[in-house]
Protein backbone atom coordinates (compact mmCIF):
# COMPACT_ATOMS: atom_id res chain seq x y z
CA UNK A 1 0.00 0.00 0.00
CA UNK A 2 2.85 2.37 0.84
CA UNK A 3 4.52 1.51 -2.46
CA UNK A 4 1.31 2.26 -4.33
CA UNK A 5 1.03 5.56 -2.47
CA UNK A 6 4.52 6.52 -3.62
CA UNK A 7 3.72 5.62 -7.22
CA UNK A 8 0.54 7.68 -7.12
CA UNK A 9 2.46 10.61 -5.64
CA UNK A 10 5.02 10.39 -8.44
CA UNK A 11 2.30 10.70 -11.07
CA UNK A 12 0.88 13.79 -9.39
CA UNK A 13 4.34 15.27 -8.93
CA UNK A 14 5.11 14.92 -12.63
CA UNK A 15 1.88 16.65 -13.63
CA UNK A 16 2.48 19.46 -11.14
CA UNK A 17 6.02 19.97 -12.41
CA UNK A 18 4.83 20.15 -16.02
CA UNK A 19 1.68 22.23 -15.63
CA UNK A 20 3.13 25.31 -17.31
CA UNK A 21 4.21 23.57 -20.51
CA UNK A 22 1.02 21.52 -20.68
CA UNK A 23 -1.01 24.70 -20.34
CA UNK A 24 0.96 26.22 -23.22
CA UNK A 25 0.39 23.05 -25.24
CA UNK A 26 -3.36 23.39 -24.72
CA UNK A 27 -3.22 27.03 -25.83
CA UNK A 28 -1.50 25.95 -29.02
CA UNK A 29 -4.14 23.35 -29.86
CA UNK A 30 -6.88 25.88 -29.08
CA UNK A 31 -5.25 28.40 -31.42
CA UNK A 32 -5.03 25.88 -34.28
CA UNK A 33 -8.83 25.49 -34.17
CA UNK A 34 -8.92 22.90 -36.94
CA UNK A 35 -12.24 21.27 -37.92
CA UNK A 36 -12.96 17.56 -38.28
CA UNK A 37 -10.51 15.57 -40.42
CA UNK A 38 -8.37 18.70 -40.93
CA UNK A 39 -6.45 18.72 -37.64
CA UNK A 40 -3.02 18.51 -39.26
CA UNK A 41 -1.17 20.96 -36.99
CA UNK A 42 -2.82 19.60 -33.85
CA UNK A 43 -1.97 16.00 -34.70
CA UNK A 44 1.60 17.02 -35.53
CA UNK A 45 2.00 18.68 -32.12
CA UNK A 46 0.82 15.56 -30.30
CA UNK A 47 3.00 13.21 -32.32
CA UNK A 48 6.12 15.32 -31.82
CA UNK A 49 5.59 15.65 -28.07
CA UNK A 50 4.81 11.97 -27.53
CA UNK A 51 7.87 10.85 -29.49
CA UNK A 52 10.00 13.23 -27.45
CA UNK A 53 8.57 11.59 -24.31
CA UNK A 54 9.65 8.14 -25.44
CA UNK A 55 6.44 6.85 -27.00
CA UNK A 56 6.29 4.82 -30.18
CA UNK A 57 3.78 6.65 -32.37
CA UNK A 58 1.96 5.51 -35.49
CA UNK A 59 0.92 8.69 -37.27
CA UNK A 60 -2.08 8.35 -39.56
CA UNK A 61 -3.41 5.30 -37.72
CA UNK A 62 -6.38 3.56 -39.27
CA UNK A 63 -5.62 5.30 -42.60
CA UNK A 64 -6.81 8.56 -41.03
CA UNK A 65 -4.24 11.30 -41.77
CA UNK A 66 -4.93 13.23 -38.56
CA UNK A 67 -5.15 10.25 -36.20
CA UNK A 68 -2.38 8.61 -34.22
CA UNK A 69 -1.75 5.63 -31.97
CA UNK A 70 0.97 6.05 -29.35
CA UNK A 71 2.25 3.46 -26.89
CA UNK A 72 4.86 3.08 -24.20
CA UNK A 73 5.87 0.22 -21.94
CA UNK A 74 5.65 -3.53 -22.13
CA UNK A 75 3.59 -6.38 -20.78
CA UNK A 76 0.25 -6.16 -19.06
CA UNK A 77 -2.01 -4.50 -18.27
CA UNK A 78 -2.64 -2.46 -21.41
CA UNK A 79 -4.32 0.79 -20.40
CA UNK A 80 -5.62 3.47 -22.75
CA UNK A 81 -6.97 6.96 -23.02
CA UNK A 82 -7.56 9.29 -25.96
CA UNK A 83 -7.05 12.87 -27.03
CA UNK A 84 -9.48 14.78 -29.21
CA UNK A 85 -8.54 18.05 -30.90
CA UNK A 86 -11.13 19.00 -33.53
CA UNK A 87 -12.85 22.38 -33.48
CA UNK A 88 -16.38 23.24 -34.59
CA UNK A 89 -17.30 25.25 -37.72
CA UNK A 90 -19.07 28.52 -36.98
CA UNK A 91 -17.51 29.05 -33.54
CA UNK A 92 -14.53 31.29 -34.22
CA UNK A 93 -13.74 33.49 -31.22
CA UNK A 94 -10.76 35.27 -29.71
CA UNK A 95 -9.94 35.10 -25.99
CA UNK A 96 -11.60 38.43 -25.24
CA UNK A 97 -14.74 39.23 -23.19
CA UNK A 98 -16.71 40.43 -26.21
CA UNK A 99 -17.72 38.96 -29.54
CA UNK A 100 -14.67 38.89 -31.80
CA UNK A 101 -14.07 36.15 -34.38
CA UNK A 102 -10.42 35.42 -35.05
CA UNK A 103 -8.83 38.09 -37.20
CA UNK A 104 -8.11 37.46 -40.87
CA UNK A 105 -10.53 34.55 -41.16
CA UNK A 106 -14.14 34.06 -42.16
CA UNK A 107 -16.38 34.84 -39.16
CA UNK A 108 -17.87 31.36 -39.34
CA UNK A 109 -14.60 29.48 -39.39
CA UNK A 110 -13.98 26.80 -36.78
CA UNK A 111 -13.37 27.38 -33.10
CA UNK A 112 -13.19 25.24 -29.98
CA UNK A 113 -16.35 24.88 -27.92
CA UNK A 114 -16.12 22.12 -25.29
CA UNK A 115 -13.10 22.66 -25.78
CA UNK A 116 -11.46 19.58 -27.24
CA UNK A 117 -8.10 21.28 -26.82
CA UNK A 118 -8.58 20.87 -23.07
CA UNK A 119 -9.97 17.35 -23.37
CA UNK A 120 -6.98 16.18 -25.36
CA UNK A 121 -4.35 17.91 -23.24
CA UNK A 122 -5.69 16.48 -19.98
CA UNK A 123 -5.61 12.94 -21.36
CA UNK A 124 -2.08 13.55 -22.60
CA UNK A 125 -1.05 14.82 -19.16
CA UNK A 126 -2.63 11.81 -17.46
CA UNK A 127 -0.84 9.32 -19.69
CA UNK A 128 2.49 11.12 -19.30
CA UNK A 129 2.07 11.38 -15.53
CA UNK A 130 1.26 7.68 -15.25
CA UNK A 131 4.19 6.83 -17.53
CA UNK A 132 6.61 8.84 -15.39
CA UNK A 133 5.42 7.09 -12.24
CA UNK A 134 5.54 3.61 -13.77
CA UNK A 135 9.00 4.26 -15.18
CA UNK A 136 10.33 5.64 -11.91
CA UNK A 137 9.04 2.70 -9.86
CA UNK A 138 9.56 -0.11 -12.36
CA UNK A 139 5.86 -0.88 -12.84
CA UNK A 140 5.12 -3.21 -15.74
CA UNK A 141 2.39 -2.41 -18.19
CA UNK A 142 1.66 -0.65 -21.44
CA UNK A 143 0.08 2.77 -21.86
CA UNK A 144 -1.67 3.77 -25.07
CA UNK A 145 -2.89 7.20 -26.11
CA UNK A 146 -5.01 7.42 -29.22
CA UNK A 147 -5.34 10.60 -31.23
CA UNK A 148 -9.01 10.74 -32.16
CA UNK A 149 -9.88 13.32 -34.84
CA UNK A 150 -13.35 14.36 -35.93
CA UNK A 151 -15.24 13.63 -32.70
CA UNK A 152 -17.83 16.22 -33.68
CA UNK A 153 -18.92 13.84 -36.43
CA UNK A 154 -18.17 10.74 -34.31
CA UNK A 155 -15.56 9.95 -36.89
CA UNK A 156 -12.39 8.21 -35.78
CA UNK A 157 -13.28 5.88 -32.94
CA UNK A 158 -15.56 3.55 -34.94
CA UNK A 159 -12.75 3.32 -37.51
CA UNK A 160 -10.06 2.61 -34.92
CA UNK A 161 -12.38 0.03 -33.37
CA UNK A 162 -13.22 -1.65 -36.67
CA UNK A 163 -9.55 -1.87 -37.63
CA UNK A 164 -8.55 -3.56 -34.40
CA UNK A 165 -6.75 -0.77 -32.57
CA UNK A 166 -8.72 -1.35 -29.37
CA UNK A 167 -8.24 -5.12 -29.39
CA UNK A 168 -6.22 -6.25 -26.41
CA UNK A 169 -6.97 -3.26 -24.20
CA UNK A 170 -7.45 -4.12 -20.53
CA UNK A 171 -9.13 -0.84 -19.53
CA UNK A 172 -9.75 2.68 -20.80
CA UNK A 173 -9.90 5.89 -18.76
CA UNK A 174 -11.48 8.83 -20.59
CA UNK A 175 -13.12 12.13 -19.76
CA UNK A 176 -14.99 15.19 -21.00
CA UNK A 177 -15.16 18.83 -19.87
CA UNK A 178 -18.51 19.31 -18.13
CA UNK A 179 -20.53 21.81 -16.08
CA UNK A 180 -19.92 19.62 -13.01
CA UNK A 181 -17.29 17.33 -11.49
CA UNK A 182 -18.43 13.72 -11.34
CA UNK A 183 -18.14 10.31 -12.97
CA UNK A 184 -20.62 8.82 -15.42
CA UNK A 185 -22.66 6.07 -13.78
CA UNK A 186 -25.23 3.79 -15.38
CA UNK A 187 -26.58 6.11 -18.09
CA UNK A 188 -23.98 6.40 -20.81
CA UNK A 189 -24.28 8.04 -24.19
CA UNK A 190 -26.32 6.53 -26.98
CA UNK A 191 -25.81 5.74 -30.65
CA UNK A 192 -25.04 8.20 -33.44
CA UNK A 193 -25.33 7.37 -37.12
CA UNK A 194 -24.67 9.65 -40.06
CA UNK A 195 -25.09 9.06 -43.78
CA UNK A 196 -24.72 11.10 -46.96
CA UNK A 197 -27.41 10.36 -49.52
CA UNK A 198 -26.45 11.30 -53.08
CA UNK A 199 -28.87 11.68 -55.96
CA UNK A 200 -27.55 11.30 -59.49
CA UNK A 201 -29.47 11.90 -62.71
CA UNK A 202 -27.24 9.71 -64.83
CA UNK A 203 -29.51 9.35 -67.89
CA UNK A 204 -31.68 12.48 -68.08
CA UNK A 205 -32.10 12.04 -71.84
CA UNK A 206 -34.39 9.08 -71.19
CA UNK A 207 -36.93 11.17 -69.28
CA UNK A 208 -39.05 11.98 -72.34
CA UNK A 209 -39.43 10.74 -75.92
CA UNK A 210 -37.44 13.30 -77.97
CA UNK A 211 -39.74 12.82 -80.99
CA UNK A 212 -42.48 14.60 -79.05
CA UNK A 213 -40.47 17.83 -78.99
CA UNK A 214 -41.38 20.44 -81.67
CA UNK A 215 -37.75 21.37 -82.26
CA UNK A 216 -34.39 20.02 -81.28
CA UNK A 217 -32.60 21.65 -78.38
CA UNK A 218 -32.45 21.28 -74.64
CA UNK A 219 -34.21 24.61 -74.06
CA UNK A 220 -37.38 23.24 -75.68
CA UNK A 221 -37.43 19.90 -73.90
CA UNK A 222 -39.36 18.83 -70.84
CA UNK A 223 -36.40 18.58 -68.58
CA UNK A 224 -35.83 15.58 -66.32
CA UNK A 225 -36.55 16.76 -62.74
CA UNK A 226 -33.11 15.65 -61.65
CA UNK A 227 -31.03 15.81 -58.55
CA UNK A 228 -32.14 19.15 -57.10
CA UNK A 229 -35.79 18.12 -57.12
CA UNK A 230 -34.80 14.78 -55.61
CA UNK A 231 -32.99 16.55 -52.81
CA UNK A 232 -35.88 18.93 -52.15
CA UNK A 233 -38.36 16.07 -52.11
CA UNK A 234 -36.09 14.08 -49.81
CA UNK A 235 -35.98 17.03 -47.43
CA UNK A 236 -39.75 17.56 -47.35
CA UNK A 237 -40.68 13.87 -47.42
CA UNK A 238 -38.44 13.21 -44.44
CA UNK A 239 -39.98 16.15 -42.57
CA UNK A 240 -43.40 14.52 -43.05
CA UNK A 241 -42.33 10.97 -42.26
CA UNK A 242 -40.28 12.03 -39.24
CA UNK A 243 -43.57 11.98 -37.34
CA UNK A 244 -43.81 8.25 -38.00
CA UNK A 245 -40.22 7.20 -37.42
CA UNK A 246 -40.55 6.65 -33.68
CA UNK A 247 -42.82 7.92 -30.88
CA UNK A 248 -42.05 11.30 -29.32
CA UNK A 249 -40.08 9.75 -26.46
CA UNK A 250 -36.55 8.64 -25.79
CA UNK A 251 -34.76 11.90 -26.63
CA UNK A 252 -33.98 10.88 -30.22
CA UNK A 253 -33.04 13.52 -32.78
CA UNK A 254 -32.64 13.71 -36.56
CA UNK A 255 -30.77 16.52 -38.29
CA UNK A 256 -29.92 17.24 -41.89
CA UNK A 257 -27.44 19.33 -43.84
CA UNK A 258 -27.49 20.07 -47.56
CA UNK A 259 -24.07 19.77 -49.20
CA UNK A 260 -23.34 22.02 -52.19
CA UNK A 261 -21.94 20.70 -55.47
CA UNK A 262 -21.53 23.90 -57.50
CA UNK A 263 -23.45 22.58 -60.48
CA UNK A 264 -25.59 25.64 -61.17
CA UNK A 265 -26.28 26.56 -64.81
CA UNK A 266 -28.52 29.01 -66.64
CA UNK A 267 -29.26 26.46 -69.37
CA UNK A 268 -32.29 24.21 -69.36
CA UNK A 269 -30.20 21.28 -68.23
CA UNK A 270 -30.99 18.62 -65.69
CA UNK A 271 -29.20 19.07 -62.35
CA UNK A 272 -27.09 15.96 -62.31
CA UNK A 273 -25.94 15.62 -58.72
CA UNK A 274 -26.98 16.58 -55.19
CA UNK A 275 -26.26 15.45 -51.65
CA UNK A 276 -27.94 15.66 -48.28
CA UNK A 277 -26.50 14.40 -45.01
CA UNK A 278 -28.66 12.97 -42.24
CA UNK A 279 -27.38 12.46 -38.71
CA UNK A 280 -29.44 10.91 -35.94
CA UNK A 281 -28.96 9.83 -32.37
CA UNK A 282 -31.05 7.69 -30.08
CA UNK A 283 -30.86 5.43 -27.08
CA UNK A 284 -30.72 2.09 -28.90
CA UNK A 285 -29.48 0.45 -32.07
CA UNK A 286 -33.01 -0.74 -32.79
CA UNK A 287 -34.28 2.84 -32.97
CA UNK A 288 -31.33 3.75 -35.18
CA UNK A 289 -32.25 0.96 -37.60
CA UNK A 290 -35.90 2.03 -37.65
CA UNK A 291 -35.01 5.62 -38.54
CA UNK A 292 -32.69 4.42 -41.29
CA UNK A 293 -35.40 2.20 -42.81
CA UNK A 294 -37.62 5.25 -43.25
CA UNK A 295 -34.81 7.39 -44.65
CA UNK A 296 -33.81 4.69 -47.12
CA UNK A 297 -37.40 4.24 -48.30
CA UNK A 298 -37.73 7.99 -48.77
CA UNK A 299 -34.54 8.13 -50.83
CA UNK A 300 -35.63 5.29 -53.10
CA UNK A 301 -39.04 6.88 -53.62
CA UNK A 302 -37.91 10.40 -54.48
CA UNK A 303 -35.19 9.05 -56.75
CA UNK A 304 -37.75 7.04 -58.69
CA UNK A 305 -39.96 10.06 -59.44
CA UNK A 306 -37.16 12.45 -60.40
CA UNK A 307 -35.17 10.37 -62.86
CA UNK A 308 -32.37 9.73 -60.40
CA UNK A 309 -30.50 6.99 -58.67
CA UNK A 310 -29.85 7.23 -54.94
CA UNK A 311 -26.65 6.20 -53.21
CA UNK A 312 -25.84 6.04 -49.51
CA UNK A 313 -22.38 6.56 -48.09
CA UNK A 314 -22.00 6.11 -44.37
CA UNK A 315 -20.08 8.73 -42.43
CA UNK A 316 -20.21 6.88 -39.12
CA UNK A 317 -22.08 4.45 -36.92
CA UNK A 318 -21.50 4.23 -33.19
CA UNK A 319 -22.86 1.82 -30.65
CA UNK A 320 -24.17 2.67 -27.17
CA UNK A 321 -22.05 3.04 -24.04
CA UNK A 322 -21.65 0.22 -21.53
CA UNK A 323 -21.34 1.13 -17.83
CA UNK A 324 -18.77 -0.34 -15.47
CA UNK A 325 -19.47 0.17 -11.78
CA UNK A 326 -16.00 -0.86 -10.61
CA UNK A 327 -14.35 1.69 -12.89
CA UNK A 328 -16.83 4.37 -11.82
CA UNK A 329 -16.19 3.74 -8.13
CA UNK A 330 -12.41 3.72 -8.55
CA UNK A 331 -12.37 6.97 -10.51
CA UNK A 332 -14.80 8.67 -8.12
CA UNK A 333 -12.52 7.79 -5.21
CA UNK A 334 -9.63 9.43 -7.02
CA UNK A 335 -11.66 12.48 -7.98
CA UNK A 336 -12.52 12.96 -4.32
CA UNK A 337 -8.83 12.85 -3.46
CA UNK A 338 -7.93 15.42 -6.13
CA UNK A 339 -10.87 17.71 -5.34
CA UNK A 340 -12.88 20.18 -7.37
CA UNK A 341 -11.34 22.95 -9.50
CA UNK A 342 -10.63 26.32 -7.93
CA UNK A 343 -10.78 29.51 -10.00
CA UNK A 344 -8.62 32.55 -9.36
CA UNK A 345 -9.49 36.22 -9.72
CA UNK A 346 -8.28 36.35 -13.33
CA UNK A 347 -10.88 33.78 -14.36
CA UNK A 348 -13.65 35.39 -12.32
CA UNK A 349 -12.90 38.87 -13.64
CA UNK A 350 -12.98 37.64 -17.23
CA UNK A 351 -16.43 36.22 -16.56
CA UNK A 352 -17.55 39.51 -15.03
CA UNK A 353 -16.20 41.42 -18.03
CA UNK A 354 -18.36 39.28 -20.32
CA UNK A 355 -21.38 40.06 -18.16
CA UNK A 356 -20.63 43.81 -18.25
CA UNK A 357 -20.26 43.76 -22.02
CA UNK A 358 -23.63 42.06 -22.30
CA UNK A 359 -25.24 44.79 -20.20
CA UNK A 360 -25.59 42.57 -17.14
CA UNK A 361 -24.72 43.31 -13.54
CA UNK A 362 -21.40 41.52 -12.89
CA UNK A 363 -21.53 38.85 -10.20
CA UNK A 364 -19.03 38.16 -7.43
CA UNK A 365 -18.82 34.59 -8.75
CA UNK A 366 -19.93 34.63 -12.39
CA UNK A 367 -19.65 30.83 -12.80
CA UNK A 368 -22.32 28.26 -12.08
CA UNK A 369 -21.83 26.64 -8.67
CA UNK A 370 -21.45 23.07 -9.93
CA UNK A 371 -18.07 23.69 -11.59
CA UNK A 372 -16.48 24.35 -8.19
CA UNK A 373 -17.79 21.37 -6.24
CA UNK A 374 -18.01 17.60 -6.52
CA UNK A 375 -21.22 15.86 -7.52
CA UNK A 376 -21.57 12.19 -6.60
CA UNK A 377 -22.19 9.76 -9.46
CA UNK A 378 -25.50 8.87 -7.80
CA UNK A 379 -26.64 12.49 -7.70
CA UNK A 380 -25.53 13.00 -11.28
CA UNK A 381 -27.42 9.89 -12.36
CA UNK A 382 -30.58 11.04 -10.56
CA UNK A 383 -30.47 14.44 -12.24
CA UNK A 384 -29.76 12.93 -15.62
CA UNK A 385 -32.63 10.47 -15.41
CA UNK A 386 -35.17 12.88 -13.94
CA UNK A 387 -36.74 13.54 -17.33
CA UNK A 388 -36.15 10.17 -18.95
CA UNK A 389 -38.59 7.27 -19.26
CA UNK A 390 -37.64 4.17 -17.30
CA UNK A 391 -36.98 2.15 -20.45
CA UNK A 392 -34.40 4.62 -21.78
CA UNK A 393 -30.87 3.50 -20.87
CA UNK A 394 -28.80 5.94 -22.94
CA UNK A 395 -28.83 9.64 -23.79
CA UNK A 396 -27.14 11.92 -26.33
CA UNK A 397 -24.16 10.69 -28.39
CA UNK A 398 -20.37 10.61 -28.40
CA UNK A 399 -18.07 8.08 -29.99
CA UNK A 400 -16.15 7.35 -26.76
CA UNK A 401 -18.72 4.57 -26.38
CA UNK A 402 -16.72 2.41 -28.80
CA UNK A 403 -14.04 1.87 -26.15
CA UNK A 404 -16.60 0.37 -23.77
CA UNK A 405 -17.21 -2.55 -26.16
CA UNK A 406 -13.54 -3.53 -26.06
CA UNK A 407 -12.52 -2.97 -22.44
CA UNK A 408 -13.89 -1.71 -19.11
CA UNK A 409 -14.23 2.03 -19.65
CA UNK A 410 -14.87 4.93 -17.31
CA UNK A 411 -15.88 8.44 -18.30
CA UNK A 412 -14.82 11.15 -15.91
CA UNK A 413 -16.50 14.57 -16.07
CA UNK A 414 -14.58 17.61 -14.82
CA UNK A 415 -15.48 21.26 -14.53
CA UNK A 416 -15.42 23.62 -17.48
CA UNK A 417 -16.77 27.06 -16.43
CA UNK A 418 -20.14 28.25 -17.62
CA UNK A 419 -21.54 31.64 -16.78
CA UNK A 420 -24.23 31.90 -14.15
CA UNK A 421 -27.50 33.20 -15.68
CA UNK A 422 -28.86 36.40 -14.11
CA UNK A 423 -32.40 35.02 -14.24
CA UNK A 424 -34.09 31.71 -15.09
CA UNK A 425 -34.22 31.12 -18.82
CA UNK A 426 -31.46 33.57 -19.72
CA UNK A 427 -29.09 32.19 -22.37
CA UNK A 428 -25.60 33.56 -22.91
CA UNK A 429 -24.43 33.84 -26.54
CA UNK A 430 -22.16 31.10 -27.83
CA UNK A 431 -19.20 33.43 -28.23
CA UNK A 432 -19.09 33.96 -24.45
CA UNK A 433 -18.81 30.22 -23.84
CA UNK A 434 -16.13 29.87 -26.50
CA UNK A 435 -14.09 32.82 -25.20
CA UNK A 436 -13.98 31.26 -21.73
CA UNK A 437 -12.78 28.00 -23.28
CA UNK A 438 -9.62 29.67 -24.53
CA UNK A 439 -8.68 31.36 -21.25
CA UNK A 440 -6.07 29.32 -19.33
CA UNK A 441 -7.24 30.71 -15.99
CA UNK A 442 -10.73 29.36 -16.73
CA UNK A 443 -9.92 25.96 -18.20
CA UNK A 444 -6.64 24.92 -16.57
CA UNK A 445 -8.22 24.12 -13.18
CA UNK A 446 -10.58 21.53 -14.69
CA UNK A 447 -7.90 20.30 -17.08
CA UNK A 448 -5.55 19.41 -14.25
CA UNK A 449 -8.27 17.98 -12.02
CA UNK A 450 -9.07 15.62 -14.89
CA UNK A 451 -5.42 14.87 -15.60
CA UNK A 452 -4.60 14.04 -11.98
CA UNK A 453 -7.73 11.95 -11.47
CA UNK A 454 -7.12 9.92 -14.62
CA UNK A 455 -3.43 9.48 -13.83
CA UNK A 456 -4.26 8.10 -10.39
CA UNK A 457 -6.82 5.75 -11.91
CA UNK A 458 -4.31 4.51 -14.49
CA UNK A 459 -1.72 3.92 -11.76
CA UNK A 460 -4.26 2.01 -9.65
CA UNK A 461 -5.18 -0.20 -12.59
CA UNK A 462 -1.50 -0.84 -13.32
CA UNK A 463 -0.56 -1.71 -9.74
CA UNK A 464 -3.65 -3.42 -8.31
CA UNK A 465 -4.61 -6.52 -10.31
CA UNK A 466 -7.62 -7.18 -8.06
CA UNK A 467 -9.26 -3.91 -9.13
CA UNK A 468 -8.66 -4.63 -12.80
CA UNK A 469 -9.95 -8.17 -12.42
CA UNK A 470 -13.11 -6.88 -10.76
CA UNK A 471 -13.65 -4.37 -13.57
CA UNK A 472 -13.26 -7.12 -16.15
CA UNK A 473 -15.49 -9.61 -14.35
Print the SS3 string covering the chain: CHHHHHHHHHHHHHHHHCHHHHHHHHHHHHHHCCECCCCHHHHHHHHHHHHHCCCEEEECHHHCCCCEEEEEEECCCEEEEEEECCEECCCCCCCCCCCCCCCCCCCCCCECCCCHHHHHHHHHHHHHHHHHHHHHHCCCEEEEEEEECCHHHCCHHHHHHHCCCCCCCCEEEEEEEECCEEECCCCEEEEEEEEEEEEECCCHHHCCCHHHCCCCCHHHCCCCCHHHHHHHHHHHHHHHHHHHCCCCCCCCEEEEEEECCCCCCCCCCCCCEEEEEEEEEECCHHHHHHHHHHHHHHHHHHHHCCCCEEEEEEEEECCCCCCCHHHHHHHHHHHHHHCCCCCCHHHHHHHHHHHHHCCCCCCCCCECHHHHCECCHHHHHHHHHCCCCCCCCEEEECCCHHHHCCCCEEEEEEECCCECCCCCCCCCCHHHHHHHHCCHHHHHHHHHHHHHHHHHHHHHHHHCHHHHHHHHC
Compute how many other C-beta atoms are within 10 angstroms of the C-beta atom of residue 370.
18
What distance in Å separates the CA atoms of residue 403 and residue 451, rounded to the nearest whole number?
19
Reduced 3-state DSSP string for 191-233: EEEEEEEEEECCCHHHCCCHHHCCCCCHHHCCCCCHHHHHHHH
Q: What is the pLDDT of residue 270?
A: 85
Compute how many other C-beta atoms are within 10 angstroms of the C-beta atom of residue 418.
19
Q: What is the pLDDT of residue 208?
A: 80
CATH 3.40.47.10 fits 191-317, yes or no: no
Nearest by Cα to 135 from 2, 3, 11: 11
What distance in Å separates the CA atoms of residue 178 and residue 188, rounded to the nearest whole number?
14
Rg of the chain (C-alpha set): 25
Neighbouring-strand partners of residue 83: 147
Neighbouring-strand partners of residue 69: 58, 146
Nearest by Cα to 234 from 182, 308, 147, 178: 308
341: Cβ–Cβ under 8 A, 6 or more apart, which residues? 181, 371, 372, 414, 415, 445, 446, 449
Question: Is there a common fold for 2-187+323-472 and 191-317?
Answer: no
Q: What is the pLDDT of residue 220?
A: 64
115: Cβ–Cβ under 8 A, 6 or more apart, which residues? 30, 87, 177, 416, 434, 437, 438, 443
Nearest by Cα to 443 from 335, 351, 363: 351
Q: Tell me the CB-side half-sphere exposure of residue 92, using CA atoms within 13 A.
A: 14
Q: What is the pLDDT of residue 2?
A: 63
CA–CA distances in Å: residue 94 to residues 33, 105, 122, 179: 11, 11, 22, 22
What distance in Å separates the CA atoms of residue 326 and residue 167, rounded to the nearest whole number?
21
Q: Under CATH, domain 2-187+323-472 is a member of which superfamily?
A: Zn peptidases (3.40.630.10)
Neighbouring-strand partners of residue 275: 198, 259
Q: What is the pLDDT of residue 63?
A: 98
Instruction: From first to last of the 473 residues of the chain, give the pLDDT tens digit.
Output: 467 999 999 999 999 999 999 999 999 999 999 999 999 999 999 999 999 999 999 999 999 999 999 999 999 999 999 999 999 999 999 999 999 999 999 999 999 999 999 999 999 999 999 999 999 999 999 999 999 999 999 999 999 999 999 999 999 999 999 999 999 999 999 999 999 999 999 988 888 877 777 767 656 667 889 999 999 999 999 999 999 999 888 899 999 999 987 676 666 778 889 999 999 999 999 999 999 999 999 999 999 999 999 999 999 999 999 999 999 999 999 999 999 999 999 999 999 999 999 999 999 999 999 999 999 999 999 999 999 999 999 999 999 999 999 999 999 999 999 999 999 999 999 999 999 999 999 999 999 999 999 999 999 999 999 999 999 99
Dihedral of alpha carbons 181, 12, 1, 411, sign: positive
Domain spans of the chain?
A: 2-187+323-472, 191-317
Nearest by Cα to 332 from 182, 171, 180: 182
Q: What is the pLDDT of residue 390?
A: 93
Nearest by Cα to 307 from 237, 206, 212, 220: 206
Q: What is the pLDDT of residue 266?
A: 63
Amino acid sequence: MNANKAIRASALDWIAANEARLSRFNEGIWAHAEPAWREYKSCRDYVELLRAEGFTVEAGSGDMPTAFAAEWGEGAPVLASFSEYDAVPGNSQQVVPYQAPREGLHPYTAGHTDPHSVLGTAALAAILGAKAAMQQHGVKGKLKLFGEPAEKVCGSKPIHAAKGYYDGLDAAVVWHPWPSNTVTGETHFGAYWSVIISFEADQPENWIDPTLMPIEGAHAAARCPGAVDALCLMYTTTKYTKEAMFPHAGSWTLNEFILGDGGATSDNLTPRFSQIQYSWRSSSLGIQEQIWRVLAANARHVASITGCKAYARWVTKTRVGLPNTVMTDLTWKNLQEVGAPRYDEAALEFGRAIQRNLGLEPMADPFIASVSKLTTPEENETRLRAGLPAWQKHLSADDYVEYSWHAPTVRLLAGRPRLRPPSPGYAYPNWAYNALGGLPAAVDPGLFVAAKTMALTLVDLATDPTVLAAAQA
